Chain A
Amino acid sequence: MSLSQSDFAFVSTLVRREAAIVLAPGKEYLVEARLIPVARQVGAGSVAEFLANLQRKPNPADQRRIIDALTTNETSWFRDREPFTALTDVVLPDLVKNRASQRRLRLWSAASSSGQEAYSLAITLQEALPTGWGYEIMGSDISTEMIKRAEAAEYSQVEVNRGLPATQLVQYFERVGAHWRIAPHLRRNVSFKHMNLTAPLPAIPPFDVIFLRNVLIYFDVATKKSVLRNVARLLRPDGWLFLGAAETTIGIDDNYERVAAGRTSAYRVRSAVPAGAVRKG
């Protein structure tokens, strides 16, 4: 049994419109697998029946459920490793120099999903920042379900196996029944907000480091442009933006420049050369 072409088209259009996510053809089985629990949850006999009902009588709650189910993705701790190494080796030493008077850093894990990236950032800062420094990390996601999960900070056995060194598991987690929960001293520094990156972003203080990884790949060019423009407003002038390995600002937004950071690249807002020239003059 596989999703019909028209049902797949309906779901694709919905997630493209609401979450700006492009579902490639060939992902029918994946869509169906993700929607089976949703259909069951709302009491529909099958995914086809659930989608038929929704097309006949649209309702925002079920649309939200579909988006939540399809924007869920598997996350590892310290995913891709290199950006975290670059943070420790290159970015933090630079920021520690620049923020010597504040002794406080703000980081944003955009599209934080179930929270692994945000807490991985917390572990990195916990280990790399000099004594006496503080930090806060904000995670954001379009899925309210994911926000709840990230705030609960509880992970299954299978999830804590993924990319997390055992020494850090025993140091930063505590076992709670069948789960592992992030220790309070880390949780204290991490918060989560519901946010749609393609809509105008709320007025919040800017960040020193933004992780926006494996998000742009889901968007079309116009949406990529608007997301990058929104994000630039929330990045401090000397801040650092990390994208996924397959993503870039090049050819999309010229306000950013790519810079080497350890064995990977990061993006920084181009220094305002004309402004500097004016000051000099």
Chain B
Amino acid sequence: MVIDDSRAMRMILKRIVAKLNFEAIEAGDGQEALDLLATMTEVPELALIDWNMPNMNGLEFVTKVRAEPRLREMTLVMVTTESEQSQIVRALAAGAHEYVIKPFTEGAMIEKLALLGLVPTGANS
């Protein structure tokens, strides 16, 4: 699941995860993502989450997901321009598994997903 209010960024992220054979569902903010998740029978493996979005921001989304047992298996990665050390600590404390700062290269994103065991061996070369 790719959650970002920028359509351009969603396209980049979708393109990258498609290379890892993920099929991506898009949402424009945290609330839209939660609404979508509520209708899904199968919980996505991974969510790439922007921080600053209208309606519900990424941090709030992470907090809500962490409090929901049904969504426990979902790996949460913040993908954001928020790059203060204190913000990264906040996101990790709220339950994000990883944190990617924009701008990121395709290789960097794949390496981060590899850290989380989401990249089949040999796929990142």
Contact = CB atoms under 8 A, between A and B. Distances in A.
Interface of A: 76, 81, 157-158, 160-163, 165-167, 169-170, 173-175
B104 A170 contact: no
Given A161-B104, A165-B98, 11 more contacts: A158-B103, A158-B105, A158-B108, A161-B101, A163-B112, A166-B91, A166-B92, A166-B98, A169-B88, A170-B88, A175-B83
Contacts of B107: 76, 162
5 contacts: A76-B107, A157-B101, A158-B103, A158-B108, A161-B100
Contact of A163 (B89, B92, B115): B115
Interface string B52-80: 00000000000000000000000000000
Nearest to B101: A157
A81 B110 CA distance: 13
A20 to B, nearest CB: 25
A207 B9 CA distance: 46
Contact of A170 (B85, B109, B112): B85
Nearest to B96: A166
Return the 8 tightest CB-CB contacts between A and B, nearest first.
A166-B99, A161-B108, A163-B111, A162-B108, A161-B104, A175-B85, A170-B88, A157-B101
A158 B104 contact: yes
Contacts of A81: 114
Contacts of B112: 161, 163
A162 B83 CA distance: 15
A160 B99 CA distance: 11
Interface residues of B, number: 22
Interface of B: 83-85, 88-89, 91-92, 96, 98-101, 103-105, 107-109, 111-112, 114-115
Contacts of A163: 108, 111-112, 114-115
Contacts of A170: 85, 88-89, 92
Nearest to A161: B108
Contacts of B111: 76, 162-163
A199 to B, nearest CB: 32
B114 to A, nearest CB: 7
A161 B105 contact: yes
B28 to A, nearest CB: 24
Contacts of B105: 158, 161-162
A195 B62 CA distance: 48
B88 to A, nearest CB: 5
A17 B111 CA distance: 35
B115 A157 contact: no
